[in-house]
Structure formats: structure tokens, C-alpha cells
């Protein structure tokens, strides 16, 4: 998680390596709120940046935990990005006095270079690429000590984005595509060492701060899209492959849809688009009931992947005739052609075309909020695309039944996007962890 709101955050100053900034009263309260929502989690250790805004956040979280870990380790590998030439300046002054550098930082941050003093003189360095190397070193050093354990990492916006990106394979040019709110919580599930498969369970949860969805950035003028997976079905619960068989929601799924509707009740929706299949359509209908001015639109391109001859079957039944293909689906899904069904590239092409059309059709002169309700495979494809990843990263993103993902286009639909939050399931009342069914697609 990121540290609480600091004095420099409130002043809109560049912090970076600078340690003149400390937690504000708002930041202290946010840290306590984060600690409260994490109260029952058993952490084997806490790792924190040594900069005082992060140190104080980690200490305040520990005061709220039922059994705080005995290990609280500070490491320079969790320090914030080094923006030596700008630190301490107002962002408005950076934009005014370093216009070209500021444009590069905003549009191509991985290409930004700066100068810094060293013991032998002055060197030119790349802040973002250096930070990614720092994040990589942190994971290499820490992960081997915590197999099967849960650890808490308290750091900063930039290093957290790099920690997530390096773990998930997100490329450097998407540095600005992942947002980290002060005291926002992200959950990464590692299967082993860095480079082994990883699941991003959730990114940037903020409900514990009284913000169900992350706030819009100042000056936001483009669309916000809320990407939702349908509620649970009996086949999700049974782990039976659904694909394009039209299975309706079960009682739990209808409850999830109602809770998602309540969660989004205060959000002003301008438009709603859904897959025409029963389970997402019913989920969307429950949500838009709270927004009677909305006419629900159907888009065939948002249908779930066609599993062909696998549909309606359990894994053990599929394994009888398609054992090799089933194993490939688990480890290299982009290589699998479903018998009499689709492959992931086909899903990619239609799902992303639908997404881009929805974004492009949003008004360019004012903020709008668009609800998109679809399926596990479709949502995963869209998220991989938005993170700069391909079909080989299909299993990276978890999509819980009724989970909500927030994607912003703050400068307009033709401009870069920001993944504000991924897979919010806190509206189901089970804390920060996604407790929804881990069923088949």
C-alpha cells in the first residue's frame, strides 16, 4: 500500500527521495483506517520505505493490527522515485519551468532523463527505469523468505506502480497507467519467485477510506468506465465451463448484483453496455434499476469465450479427451484452440474492438461514466490490453463475480488511460480479499 496523505501531497509538491514531507492529519487517519481493515490479517513481516511519510504509515497500521508482525524492516529498495531536479517544487512550477521534461513525464515517463550529483561528478539517469530495477531487486531479495506467507509492503506511488508492473510484466511505457491512492491497498498473489506466474487479485482498493471508487483527478474531462463481471451462477460455483451456454444467475449472483447496484447507487451513470447473455444482462439490469434514465445497450462482441465442446463440462470430464489442451489452457492459454470454439486471440479482437468503440463514442467535452458488464475472459482480455500485455498474460488479472474495475481517460477518450482500481469486491462485506467463487469461465 501507499503511505497516507503527506504535507507535500496537500501542497501538490514533488516528493521523490526528498524526506522533508511528513504525514498530515488526514494521512494519519488514513493509515489508521487501513490498519483497521487489515486488522485480522496475519502478516509474517512488514517492509517499509525509510522515508518518514511511509515509516509513520507503517507504524500507525501496526497499532491497529490484532497481532502485528514482529518484523518491521526498512529498506532503501522501497524509496520513492528519484526526481532530483524537481523535488520540493510545486507541480505547477515544474510544468512552468521544465515544460519539455514535464510533457515527457506526463506522456512518456519511461523516456525521462535527469541529472544528479555523484561522488565523481554529475550523471544522467532514467528515473523510471532505475525505479523498475529497484523494484525487481526488492522482489528478488524478499520473496524467497516468505513462501506461503502474507507480507505487508508500505511505500510510495511510483515504487508501488513499479512493484506491481515488474511482478506482472507490465511494460515501462505503462508506468502512468496504474494509479495508487494514498493508503490504497493492492493484493498480489505470487506462485513462487519473481518471473513465476502471478495474480493481481485487486489493485488500489479505497473503500476503507470512505471512497468506494477512487476520486476523479482534478480537471478530469474524459470518460470513466466501470467494468463489471456478472454475478455468480451455479456453474461458477461447480467450476463447470460455461462459455456461451446461457446460464442464469443463482441466488448468490442476484445478491451480488444487488450489492453492486447499491455500491454504485451514488455514481451518476450516463450509459450502460452489457453482453447480451443472461448472467451479465441480469447483473446490468439490477444495477441500472438505480438509474432509471439509462437504456441498457447490448453488444454481441462482449459475449464470453466459446469453449466449444468443453462447455457444460467439469475439468475432470474435459481431461478425459483433452488432457493436454486443458493443461496448456492453465499454463499457456494463448496457445489453445477450443475444439469447435474460439481461441484467445479471437476473444481479444472482438472484446477490445467493443471497448475502444465504447470509449471513442464518449463525449469529448465533459466527464461521463459508462457501465460495461461482461464476463471473466472478456474482462481479462480488456485488462491485459489496457496494461500493455498480450493473451499470454490472461491469468494475471482476477475478476471476481460482481467485481468492479475503474478505468479513467482523464484527458479525453483519445488520450492515455489510467487503471484507477481493479477488481473491487469490498461491497460484499468480506474485507479486502476477494472471496467470490473461483469457478470456471
| Cell 492453465, located at residue | 330
Strand partners, 117: 122
Q: For residue 28, which of 49, 51, 7, 50 has the smallest C-alpha distance?
A: 7
Distances (CA, A) of 202 to 189, 246, 405: 10, 28, 9
Phi, psi of 83, deg, nearest 5:
-110, 65
Strand partners, 202: 187
Helix, strand or coil, per DSSP, at residue 23 = strand
- Is the separation of the CB atoms in 236 and 437 below 8 Å? yes
| Cell 497500521, located at residue | 61
Distances (CA, A) of 284 to 25, 147, 227, 425: 39, 40, 11, 16
Give me the long-range contacts of 71-75 (CB less than 8 A, separation at least 24).
Answer: 71/44, 71/45, 71/46, 72/45, 72/46, 72/48, 73/45, 73/46, 73/47, 73/48, 74/47, 74/48, 74/49, 74/50, 75/47, 75/48, 75/49, 75/50, 75/138
Dihedral of the CA atoms 361, 375, 163, 123 (nearest 10)? -30
Please tell me the distance from the alpha carbon of residue 97 to that of residue 99, in angstroms, as a whole number. Answer: 6
Active site residues: 230, 304
Grid cell at residue 40 = 485480522
Q: Report CA 180 to chain centroid distance, whole Å.
A: 9
- Is the separation of the CB atoms in 151 and 43 below 8 Å? yes
Grid cell at residue 188 = 498480489
Q: DSSP of 135-169, one letter per residue?
A: HHHHHHHHGGG-TT--EEEEB-HHHHHHHHHHHHT
Amino acid at each position: 500500500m501507499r503511505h497516507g496523505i503527506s504535507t507535500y501531497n496537500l501542497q501538490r509538491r514533488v516528493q521523490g527521495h526528498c524526506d522533508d514531507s511528513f504525514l498530515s492529519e488526514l494521512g494519519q487517519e488514513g493509515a489508521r483506517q487501513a490498519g483497521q481493515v487489515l486488522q485480522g490479517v496475519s502478516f509474517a513481516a512488514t517492509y517499509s520505505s525509510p522515508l518518514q511519510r511511509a515509516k509513520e504509515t507503517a507504524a500507525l497500521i501496526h497499532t491497529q493490527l490484532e497481532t502485528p508482525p514482529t518484523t518491521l524492516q526498512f529498506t532503501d529498495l522501497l524509496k520513492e522515485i528519484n526526481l532530483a531536479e524537481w523535488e520540493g517544487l510545486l507541480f505547477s512550477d515544474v510544468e512552468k519551468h521544465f515544460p519539455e521534461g514535464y510533457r515527457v513525464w506526463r506522456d512518456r515517463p519511461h523516456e525521462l532523463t535527469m541529472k544528479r550529483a555523484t561522488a565523481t561528478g554529475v550523471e544522467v539517469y532514467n528515473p523510471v527505469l532505475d525505479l523498475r530495477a529497484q523494484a525487481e531487486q526488492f522482489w528478488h531479495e524478499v520473496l524467497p523468505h516468505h513462501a506461503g506467507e502474507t507480507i505487508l509492503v508500505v511505500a510510495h506511488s511510483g515504487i508501488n506502480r513499479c512493484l506491481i508492473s515488474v511482478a506482472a510484466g507490465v511494460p515501462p511505457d505503462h508506468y502512468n497507467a496504474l494509479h495508487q491512492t494514498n493508503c490504497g491497498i493492492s493484493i498480489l498473489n505470487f506462485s513462487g519467485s519473481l518471473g513465476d506466474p502471478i495474480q493481481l487479485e485487486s489493485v488500489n482498493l479505497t473503500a476503507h477510506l470512505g471512497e468506494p471508487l477512487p476520486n476523479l483527478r482534478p480537471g478530469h474531462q474524459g470518460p470513466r468506465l466501470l467494468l463489471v463481471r456478472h454475478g455468480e451462477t451455479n456453474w461458477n460455483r461447480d467450476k463447470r465451463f460455461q462459455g456461451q451456454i446461457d446460464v442464469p444467475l443463482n441466488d448468490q449472483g442476484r445478491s451480488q448484483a444487488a450489492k453492486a447496484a447499491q455500491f454504485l447507487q451514488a455514481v451518476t451513470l450516463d450509459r450502460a453496455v452489457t453482453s447480451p447473455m443472461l448472467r451479465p444482462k441480469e447483473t446490468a439490469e439490477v444495477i441500472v434499476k438505480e438509474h432509471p434514465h439509462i437504456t441498457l445497450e447490448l453488444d454481441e462482441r462482449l459475449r464470453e469465450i466459446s469453449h466449444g465442446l468443453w462447455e457444460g463440462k467439469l475439468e475432470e470430464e474435459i481431461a478425459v479427451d483433452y488432457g493436454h489442451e486443458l493443461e496448456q489452457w492453465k499454463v499457456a492459454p494463448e496457445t489453445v484452440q477450443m475444439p469447435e470454439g474460439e481461441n484467445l486471440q479471437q476473444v481479444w479482437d472482438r472484446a477490445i474492438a467493443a471497448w475502444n468503440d465504447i470509449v471513442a463514442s464518449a463525449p469529448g467535452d465533459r466527464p461521463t461514466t459508462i457501465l460495461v458488464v461482461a464476463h471473466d475472459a472478456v474482462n481479462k482480455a480488456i485488462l491485459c490490453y489496457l496494461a500493455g500485455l498480450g493473451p499470454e498474460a490472461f491469468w494475471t488479472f482476477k475478476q471476481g463475480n460482481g467485481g468492479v474495475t475503474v478505468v479513467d481517460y482523464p484527458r479525453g477518450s483519445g488520450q492515455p488511460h489510467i487503471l484507477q482500481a481493479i477488481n473491487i469486491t469490498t461491497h460484499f462485506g468480506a474485507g479486502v480479499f476477494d472471496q467470490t467463487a473461483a469457478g470456471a469461465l
